[in-house]
Amino acid sequence: MATTLAKAADSDTAAVDHAARIEHVSKSFAGPTGQQLVLDDITLDVAPGEFVTLLGASGCGKSTLLNLVAGLDRPTAGSISTDGRPALMFQEHALFPWLTAGKNIELALKLRGVPKSERRERAEELLELVRLKGAYGKRVHELSGGMRQRVALARALGQDSKLLLMDEPFAALDAITRDVLHDELTRIWRETNLSVLFVTHNVREAVRLAQRVVLLSSRPGRVAREWRVDIPQPRRIEDAAVAELSVEITEELRGEIRRHGQH
């Protein structure tokens, strides 16, 4: 199948019914024994304003799929379209240590073409959005791990994208900080009407955040099952309904891992 990678036109010129559309996408990499199939015939839509989590065992291709949606790599087969250029946030904050928190955000604004005269004010607004008001002049080494991820989130939001891609952004944080940032991300998502595609291997995190959880099978990654999460927000990770659905999804994940181990 021929590979195409299309980017949807800006919403000012064309109405779109999806933030991201992944159609029959496969991805292979060269390995010691030939081509290794990592993703196999993935079809998935993310609706405007929807929060979707991608869940699966380590090595199932979650991050590979996110990189394809971000345009950092091309699929071997299939097509991907997005409503404008997505913003991408990694597990590591990837902040420049020689810049202040505010200047890290301004760099994203500069790349987007925001005039220099407007960047400081916009960076301050973004820091306030992630509840870091007054942190503009702080260096990276002066910030805690959670604060650094807030700056990274503000920088991603500064790209003014309709789709935010997040690759296990809270995995390295302690449980309390992670829980606080779950609350903050949920608040920002609701305030901004962003679409979010969030990769995690943590089942409770997936249920805590998402409107829809998508489980990928073990390699090669395929869409194994989806769950619509109808639990009202705000949710707590310890809520009974979150725990109950997490148990169901965990059992399905274990089944996928067992099936993979038998091959």
Model's pTM, two decimal places?
0.88
Write down the pLDDT at residue 28.
Answer: 93
How far is 48 from 104, CA to CA, in rounded Å? 28
Write down the pLDDT at residue 59.
Answer: 82
Asked if residue 214 and residue 179 are part of one domain, the reply reads yes
Residue ranges for the chain with pLDDT beneath 50? 1-14, 262-263
Which of 104, 110, 75 lies closest to 89 in space, CA to CA? 104
Neighbours of 84 (CB within 10 A): 18
Which of 68, 72, 73, 56 lies closest to 24 in space, CA to CA? 68
Whether the Cβ atoms of residue 140 and residue 101 lie closer than 8 Å to each other:
yes
Write down the pLDDT at residue 6.
Answer: 39
- Joined together, the tokens standing for residue 138 give 């702080």
Asked if residue 173 and residue 65 are part of one domain, the reply reads yes
Give the chain's length: 263
Among 160, 188, 208, residue at a domain's last position: 160
Write down the pLDDT at residue 7.
Answer: 38
How far is 133 from 143, CA to CA, in rounded Å? 13
Asked if residue 189 and residue 139 are part of one domain, the reply reads no
Write down the pLDDT at residue 93.
Answer: 74
pLDDT tens digits for range 225-242: 999 999 998 899 999 999
Which of 49, 48, 44 lies closest to 15 in space, CA to CA? 48
Which of 169, 229, 162, 158 lies closest to 20 in space, CA to CA? 162
Asked if residue 168 and residue 73 are part of one domain, the reply reads yes
CA atoms within a 13 Å half-sphere pointing along the CA-CB vector of 183: 8
Asked if residue 82 and residue 173 are part of one domain, the reply reads yes
Asked if residue 152 and residue 168 are part of one domain, the reply reads no
Write down the pLDDT at residue 234.
Answer: 86
Write down the pLDDT at residue 103.
Answer: 94
Q: Domain range holding 224?
A: 20-86+162-261
Asked if residue 218 and residue 191 are part of one domain, the reply reads yes
Write down the pLDDT at residue 110.
Answer: 92
Amino acid identity, residue 113? G
Whether the Cβ atoms of residue 77 and residue 1 lie closer than 8 Å to each other:
yes
